[in-house]
Chain A
């Protein structure tokens, strides 16, 4: 790097060419007062506080002036003071200088400047006009406060929201004396486009934007965000065994110092009073009617909703009871539902427990509900899934599952299909927006509008459920117009000719009729995808949660194979929703695979596992999540071990699941909180949270990341792996003598090292289009689908008060034309009726929802009452993305009046 030498305040300094004077000075511990400069942002030169004097006598803003060879800079002196003192005095005069009571005190840039410049704050405020302190404080956001009276109009928040959060929720408004920072229409920040990421708050130099909780941590512990599959690196700020602050890990390549609201402000559930802190056992009917049946829970200081069926027990008693009962239900009478939020170590021990101790392969997780089609399609194509030792591009075929997230910035084209990434994986959404800023061409396939549609070069809106036809239409363009990479397909594809013929079925005329997407748009999009190198595809449940989910994934993989993009590791990116969904699969929490997708049905593999684990294993692949429910209903499965999940609500149809749970003879429930499923349990075991244990997680990119322990487990809770290891020992099984998560990781690595590698050629999949299983007719004329809410994510967000406050109320969005047909008006409560059930909710009319589609803004729980899903024959994933419904009017909602103001200007800005 080219170096430049200059002199600042008589000190000779060498620095890189292109650096500014201010950067250079600060890096060399020379303080120059500054306000609007922030190292993460482009310099704005707005506050004029950072003035310095050059040897020419010229006074310049140091934050905008690059260094030059031989430059001589003075950062103090009478001349300079004459110019910058009034600038600073003006700011002080306009600032509500109540430092003593300010949450920012001690860390405020203005305090530092006035101290450095020896400015008499009181004097100024008396001489000059008094500051306007009459502006109301905006405390609408539960996590931070905006006080305009302290704002110095440096614009850092405006630039942060634009450059870093990429939301642009705030801007300068008004002019002159009335200037201030405002959201659209000067609304309260919580009613604006703000996504509560807090990026502006941590950068505001003064007390105008402050966190509500000002406690300072005594130390920071490195961890990983427990929410979504992005797996952002975080540091947990701990004080007195409590997490008081969370900051992003600036060194993490996953999030490069960014966080979304969940990671930054959503960790409070760890300290929720609702945490399970003691093991509990079910109280029999007789005990329950006894007057003091509830006392044990109260005595233990436990406040758990839905706990009236239980009494507190010791670990000794609870584990004894479990061991004794599980002995009765070995092999195929036992099933284990593992968690997509536990660590790899937890999940490894869970599946080992089921297989080795219980002799059962009935192991699955909620990843079945959306991720299994990816695994099935990848394996059938010859692409690796899971742990890949080398991350290099194009060298070792087939392409790796993992990639370095920073590569996304180099993508030439990004195709997003069936996912609202800005809400489901916010920080990944940021990365994609960044790539677009760097020139990547963005294509979005989504029937309804989402954040990324708005910046996409092409937004394709197929009728929900016709995505396969659309994508195969793109394949057809690529084949017909010879946009494919013939050298690559010739060398690596087994069945190109067969595929070419079948793709001909998807003529653009036919695809246009099926999908409703104009043929030109399909052709242009196919051309953009084929030309972008490397091109990355991201997809979510809008692709996988269909009765033909695996085929949908094949269609996307076909695109990547035809164009040879598959050789880049960022080519194919199925989104894993929970923090360790991919890890749970990699660890073998699957009925048909041991860890790293080694098939249970393969005899050699089984024998290998038997020798590694020193035991006899059940040779038959087990049942999937939905099959486990069926078997429990049929009383073939009698004991269930349910860890960190809530099938009673998250698996459709909920009624059937609940009936099945009721039938089970023995249910062990292990989690941080009581949930609907727990109510059917016989024994409840309290699990430690992510912050209370060590372990590793695998994010959606396939990257393994370690978490350190920040806290002692709450109450008497224990890490999941420790509970199951202890249980295994009680049941006289060998191979569970783990003293720490590290011991488990060593075993995992040893087992993986002994597994055979599979390398094959790629297979293109000729596909047929069939409509989705649940189609419309005259009785059920519209399709219902769901969209995500940024602030709702499982029981964790549920237990954080601020997250509950921020989440949008439940609505069904409907196009005004459809609403007219059903005679429904805005704000009315409506009944949504499917072939299998009915629910009620409030209707909101919006032009952004296409005609023929109605969209509910909730996670699946409620919609599950409407479904009786058909399963994807290949992956066993139920079709829960859509459902044919009709809407019926009920009565006017009272909620309407209250909110009509917000509603009038709703919509996306």
Chain B
């Protein structure tokens, strides 16, 4: 299925080098990340070395070369949230789901990220779990939210 997606996306491009970033964006939009196979196909399509595609994909923060977990947890580290204790909350969540910022669990359950600002400063500190925003966070609330979750036997994949 992934393959068809990539083929279909590539079909709408001409195969010129400067299309690399738009293609990567479109592939990621559709697949959620950039699988190696997709990057190889893109490299062949554009006639550029695979190492170059990887170089670009790893340069921009927007691209991820590993799949996301089913549950994406984003901790806001905007100014308001930061002042009101976002680092503590991040810390708590890291402990609860055994992931570090930027990591995805080996079983693809969770991805933990930080974001610049969710845009709910009134609710600071806040986190986003998939599409839902949870505001007025405290370390205790965070702990409660992720209680009994996370895989404790390691195998996390860093970004």
Choice from B40, B47, B52 contacting A907 with Cβ under 8 Å: B40
Which of A785-825 touch B at CB < 8 Å? none
Choice from B39, B49, B65 contacting A171 with Cβ under 8 Å: B49
Pairwise interchain contact B36-A171, C-beta atoms closer than 8 A: no
Give every chain A residue within 8 A of B65 (Cβ-Cβ): 185
Give every chain A residue within 8 A of B99 (Cβ-Cβ): none
Task: Report how far A223 CA is from B59 CA in the complex, Å.
Answer: 45
Chain A CB within 8 A of B58 CB: yes
Chain B CB within 8 A of A285 CB: no
Chain A CB within 8 A of B53 CB: yes
Give every chain B residue within 8 A of A192 (Cβ-Cβ): 51
Pairwise interchain contact A182-B54, C-beta atoms closer than 8 A: yes
Chain A CB within 8 A of B37 CB: yes
Task: Report how far A172 CA is from B59 CA in the complex, Å.
Answer: 9
Shortest B23–chain A CB gap in Å is 16
Choice from A172, A185, A193, A905 contacting B49 with Cβ under 8 Å: A193
Choice from A167, A184, A455, A908 contacting B39 with Cβ under 8 Å: A184
Among residues of A, the one whose C-beta sits closest to the C-beta of B52 is: A171
Among residues of B, the one whose C-beta sits closest to the C-beta of A167 is: B49
Per-residue contact bits, chain B 52-71, to A (CB 8 Å; 1 contact, 0 not): 11110011110001000000
Shortest A899–chain B CB gap in Å is 15
Task: Report how far A67 CA is from B155 CA in the complex, Å.
Answer: 57
Chain A CB within 8 A of B139 CB: no
Shortest A778–chain B CB gap in Å is 31
Pairwise interchain contact A185-B52, C-beta atoms closer than 8 A: no
Chain B CB within 8 A of A170 CB: yes
Task: Report how far A907 CA is from B49 CA in the complex, Å.
Answer: 13
Give every chain B residue within 8 A of A162 (Cβ-Cβ): 49
Pairwise interchain contact B40-A168, C-beta atoms closer than 8 A: no
Give every chain B residue within 8 A of A304 (Cβ-Cβ): none
Chain A CB within 8 A of B93 CB: no
Shortest A651–chain B CB gap in Å is 38
Give every chain A residue within 8 A of B40 (Cβ-Cβ): 184, 905, 907, 909
- Count chain A residues whose beta carbon lies closer than 8 angstroms to a beta carbon of B: 24
Among residues of B, the one whose C-beta sits closest to the C-beta of A175 is: B59
Choice from B54, B59, B60 contacting A184 with Cβ under 8 Å: B54
Give every chain B residue within 8 A of A905 (Cβ-Cβ): 36-37, 40
Among residues of B, the one whose C-beta sits closest to the C-beta of A168 is: B49
Among residues of A, the one whose C-beta sits closest to the C-beta of B57 is: A173
Chain B CB within 8 A of A135 CB: no
Which of A162-203 touch B at CB < 8 Å? 162, 167-175, 182-186, 192-193
Chain B CB within 8 A of A904 CB: yes
Shortest B35–chain A CB gap in Å is 8
Main SS class of interface, B: helix
Which of A529-568 touch B at CB < 8 Å? none
Pairwise interchain contact A182-B58, C-beta atoms closer than 8 A: yes
Among residues of B, the one whose C-beta sits closest to the C-beta of A166 is: B49
Task: Report how far A173 CA is from B65 CA in the complex, Å.
Answer: 12
Task: Report how far A663 CA is from B54 CA in the complex, Å.
Answer: 60
Give every chain A residue within 8 A of B39 (Cβ-Cβ): 184-185
Chain A CB within 8 A of B50 CB: yes
Pairwise interchain contact B37-A186, C-beta atoms closer than 8 A: no
Shortest B102–chain A CB gap in Å is 11
Among residues of B, the one whose C-beta sits closest to the C-beta of A455 is: B47
Give every chain A residue within 8 A of B54 (Cβ-Cβ): 171, 173, 182-186
Chain A CB within 8 A of B43 CB: yes
Give every chain B residue within 8 A of A172 (Cβ-Cβ): 55, 59
Shortest A200–chain B CB gap in Å is 12
Pairwise interchain contact B36-A170, C-beta atoms closer than 8 A: no
**A173-B59, A174-B58, A185-B65 known; A904 and B36 CB under 8 Å?**
yes
Among residues of A, the one whose C-beta sits closest to the C-beta of B36 is: A905
Among residues of B, the one whose C-beta sits closest to the C-beta of A158 is: B51
Choice from A171, A193, A455, A909 contacting B55 with Cβ under 8 Å: A171
Give every chain A residue within 8 A of B58 (Cβ-Cβ): 173-175, 182, 186
Task: Report how far A162 CA is from B49 CA in the complex, Å.
Answer: 9
Task: Report how far A167 CA is from B50 CA in the complex, Å.
Answer: 10
Give every chain A residue within 8 A of B51 (Cβ-Cβ): 168-171, 182-184, 192-193, 909
Give every chain B residue within 8 A of A183 (Cβ-Cβ): 51, 54
Residue from the set B39, B43, B44, B49 with the largest chain A CB neighbour count within 10 Å: B49
**A185-B65, A193-B50 known; A904 and B55 CB under 8 Å?**
no
Among residues of B, the one whose C-beta sits closest to the C-beta of A192 is: B51
Shortest B56–chain A CB gap in Å is 9
Residue from the set A170, A185, A193 with the largest chain B CB neighbour count within 10 Å: A185
**A173-B58, A174-B58 known; A184 and B37 CB under 8 Å?**
no
Task: Report how far A193 CA is from B52 CA in the complex, Å.
Answer: 12
Which of B46-104 touch A at CB < 8 Å? 47, 49-55, 58-61, 65
Task: Report how far A183 CA is from B58 CA in the complex, Å.
Answer: 12
Residue from the set A169, A173, A182, A192 with the largest chain B CB neighbour count within 10 Å: A173
Give every chain B residue within 8 A of A904 (Cβ-Cβ): 36-37
Task: Report how far A460 CA is from B75 CA in the complex, Å.
Answer: 55
Residue from the set A169, A171, A905 with the largest chain B CB neighbour count within 10 Å: A171
Task: Report how far A169 CA is from B58 CA in the complex, Å.
Answer: 15
Give every chain B residue within 8 A of A186 (Cβ-Cβ): 54, 58
Task: Report how far A904 CA is from B35 CA in the complex, Å.
Answer: 10
Give every chain B residue within 8 A of A171 (Cβ-Cβ): 49, 51-52, 54-55
> Interface residues, chain A, CB within 8 Å of chain B?
162, 167-175, 182-186, 192-193, 454-455, 904-905, 907-909
* 9 cross-chain CB contacts under 8 A: A167-B49, A183-B54, A184-B54, A185-B54, A193-B49, A193-B50, A904-B37, A905-B40, A909-B44
Give 11 A-B pairs besides A174-B59, A184-B43, A455-B47 with Cβ atoms closer than 8 angstroms: A168-B52, A171-B51, A173-B54, A174-B58, A175-B58, A182-B51, A184-B53, A184-B54, A185-B65, A192-B51, A909-B49
The 5 closest A-B pairs by CB, nearest first: A909-B50, A168-B49, A184-B50, A905-B36, A171-B55
